[in-house]
Amino acid sequence: MAEVPRVTHAPNSGQVAFQQDGAVYHGPTGKGDGHMTFNPPVADLTSAKVRTQLAPQLIRTVHKGRANSAMGKWENVLSDQDIEDVVAYIRSLRD
């Protein structure tokens, strides 16, 4: 019987980082349906508002966070690579 191929790299590493750090608040599917409510509300990462942004904009938001919101900066938590991966994952999300 054929062996299940081993994953030697992590094509879904952005998803892993998101599930670890973002999903609690943005919701497991990024729709902003996490457990807690914030003011301003947590962004729906599947929305057109997010989907129409270019990757560098989203990367910047994740790096720097958003002033006066619960969205903190991740630049000291995630590596640049992780942030790029997580943004690639976010941009793959659909309604």
N-terminal to C-terminal alpha carbon distance within the chain: 38
Backbone angles phi, psi at 62, to 5 degrees: -70, -40
CA 66 to chain centre: 14
Closer CB to ligand HEM, 13 or 70, in the complex: 70
Near ligand HEM by CB under 6 A: residue from 10, 37, 55, 69: 69
Q: What CA–CA distance (Å, rounded) separates 51 from 48?
A: 5
Q: Per rule CB under 6 A, is residue 86 in the interface with ligand HEM?
A: yes
User: Which residues of this chain interact with ligand HEM, rule CB under 6 A?
Assistant: 17-18, 21-22, 25-26, 38, 40, 42-43, 49-50, 53, 58, 61-62, 66, 69-71, 74, 86, 90
